[in-house]
């Protein structure tokens, strides 16, 4: 029994040594593997492109993106706050109602008279101001270029004056037939070329329109045209001496007339040469401006509807002013040089080129009824024909000591070298069968439409 026990104990000791050898090798190998894995893991986790670096970069990018978004949001919120604050400080702008539609010339021709000063519109959109007591005549043109004619139908005027017609002369730019803008028409005194197409040259503007829309008057210092002729700015009645000479009658209120042109954008002149209307003396005669019959060439014929003839400039001035002296909406006067010259510019602008060089004799050759000849341009009759017309223009001309302050204008049947722009010098007592017309111009003095009911 003791021997067996001794053999078993020897074998056990031998296996323990082998196991210990194997264990040491395995340990070494394990340590090496651990070192290798640790190195790899450290590089993966802590290296330049490792997980920690990548995670840190991702966090930094996310934080930067969040910061940018916050800044943008704060900026938008601030802009919104500013907009809200501005809206609270500035009240809403009032809504401008659309302008009312204006009466159309073509639709109201021959209709009722207007009770107040009224703006109407032609077929091209041009605006025309019609005074109270007048209507658009049935034979008016449909456009400014064709000639807009108004007719007096006011019960407050003399019966013989009722039916008198006047033609609108626009100032500024108007739209021609077909939609083409005209050249600018300046209210002024002109000379005209004696060769075709009678080109106008502005000598003195009545006023100058500034860039801010205001006006500077330019008529107060009269300019002399053709050595003698000027439009005096101050009214004077005029005096005829016992002999020849004397003083002319000037425009009774040139400033008022010019201001009305500024306000209304134009003015009216008589359509026809003046005819006898009513009254018992020169001081209260009234002149009609409608189709009239020819007068005697040897004396004044005072029959109604006959042409004025053998009338001095002083008496013509009285008659022209008396025509609408009782009206509350218009006044009248002899033509001044601004009205006369600008009307010729308008006629030529409407396509009647070289009208400034049309003579009266070649059309008429004799004294004839007004409104019955070929000299009608834009509904205006006989500026270049039949009879000359007294104006308010002043002449400083004298002849051998004989003052000649009065200025007739236009052409007449007796001289082929007299034209629409022609100027002549006459004394204050002069009258003959070649000077009559004096179609009055109209001056607005009525209240504005929006105040007439007050």
pLDDT at 194 over 90: yes
Among the listed residues 359, 276, 378, the one whose alpha carbon sits nearest the alpha carbon of residue 323: 276
Is residue 410 helix, strand or coil? coil
User: Average pLDDT, stretch 170-175?
Assistant: 97
Confidence band for 49, pLDDT divided at 50, 70 and 90: low
- Residue 323 to residue 263: CA distance in whole angstroms: 23
Kindly report whether the global pTM for this prediction surpasses the value 0.85. Answer: no
- Residue 332 to residue 27: CA distance in whole angstroms: 134
pLDDT at 314 over 90: yes
- Residue 107 to residue 109: CA distance in whole angstroms: 6
Q: What's the whole-number average pLDDT of the chain?
A: 85
Confidence band for 399, pLDDT divided at 50, 70 and 90: confident
Percent of the chain with pLDDT over 90: 49
Percent of the chain with pLDDT over 70: 87
Is residue 66 helix, strand or coil? helix
Q: Where are the domains of the chain?
A: 187-451
5's tokens? 């026990």
Confidence band for 453, pLDDT divided at 50, 70 and 90: very low
User: Average pLDDT, stretch 334-350?
Assistant: 97
* More confident: 217 or 439: 217
**C-alpha angle 119/287/118, rounded to 5°?**
10
**For residue 419, what pLDDT is reported?**
92
User: Average pLDDT, stretch 308-332?
Assistant: 90
């Amino acid at each position: 029994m003791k021997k067996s026990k001794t053999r078993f104990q020897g074998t056990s000791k031998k296996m323990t040594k082998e196991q210990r050898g194997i264990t040491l090798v395995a340990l070494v190998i394990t340590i090496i593997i651990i070192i290798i894995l640790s190195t790899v893991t450290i590089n993966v986790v802590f290296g330049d492109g490792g997980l920690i670096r990548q995670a840190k970069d991702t966090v930094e990018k996310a934080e930067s993106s969040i910061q940018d978004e916050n800044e943008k949001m704060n900026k938008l919120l601030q802009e919104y706050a500013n907009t809200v604050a501005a809206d609270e400080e500035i009240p809403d702008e009032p809504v401008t109602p659309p302008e009312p539609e204006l009466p159309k010339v073509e639709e109201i021709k021959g209709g009722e008279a207007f009770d107040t000063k009224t703006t109407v519109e032609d077929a091209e959109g041009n605006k025309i101001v019609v005074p109270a007591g007048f209507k658009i005549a049935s034979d008016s043109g449909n456009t400014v270029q064709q000639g807009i004619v108004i007719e007096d139908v006011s019960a407050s005027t003399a019966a013989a004056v009722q039916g008198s017609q006047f033609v609108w002369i626009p100032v500024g730019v108007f739209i021609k037939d077909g939609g083409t803008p005209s050249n600018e028409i300046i209210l002024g005194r002109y000379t005209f070329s004696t060769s075709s197409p009678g080109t106008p040259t502005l000598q003195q503007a009545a006023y100058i329109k500034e860039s801010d829309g205001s006006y500077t008057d330019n008529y107060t210092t009269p300019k002399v045209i053709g050595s003698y002729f000027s439009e005096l700015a101050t009214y004077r009645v005029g005096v005829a001496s016992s002999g020849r000479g004397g003083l002319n009658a000037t425009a009774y209120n040139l400033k008022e007339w010019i201001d009305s042109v500024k306000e209304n954008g134009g003015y009216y002149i008589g359509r026809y040469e003046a005819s006898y209307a009513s009254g018992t003396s020169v001081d209260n005669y009234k002149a009609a401006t409608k189709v009239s019959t020819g007068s005697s060439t040897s004396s004044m014929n005072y029959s109604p509807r006959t042409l004025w003839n053998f009338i001095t400039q002083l008496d013509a001035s009285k008659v022209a002013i008396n025509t609408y002296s009782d009206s509350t909406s218009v006044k009248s006067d002899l033509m001044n040089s601004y009205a006369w010259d600008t009307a010729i510019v308008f006629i030529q602008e409407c396509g009647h080129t070289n009208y400034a060089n049309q003579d009266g004799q070649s059309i008429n050759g004799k004294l004839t009824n007004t409104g019955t000849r070929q000299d009608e341009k834009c509904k205006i009759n006989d500026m270049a024909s039949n009879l000359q017309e007294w104006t308010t223009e002043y002449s400083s001309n004298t002849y051998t000591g004989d003052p000649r302050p009065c200025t007739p204008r236009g052409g007449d049947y007796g001289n082929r070298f007299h034209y629409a722009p022609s100027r002549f010098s006459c004394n204050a007592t002069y009258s003959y069968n070649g000077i009559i017309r004096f179609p009055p111009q109209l001056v607005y003095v009525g209240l504005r439409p929006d105040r007439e009911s007050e």
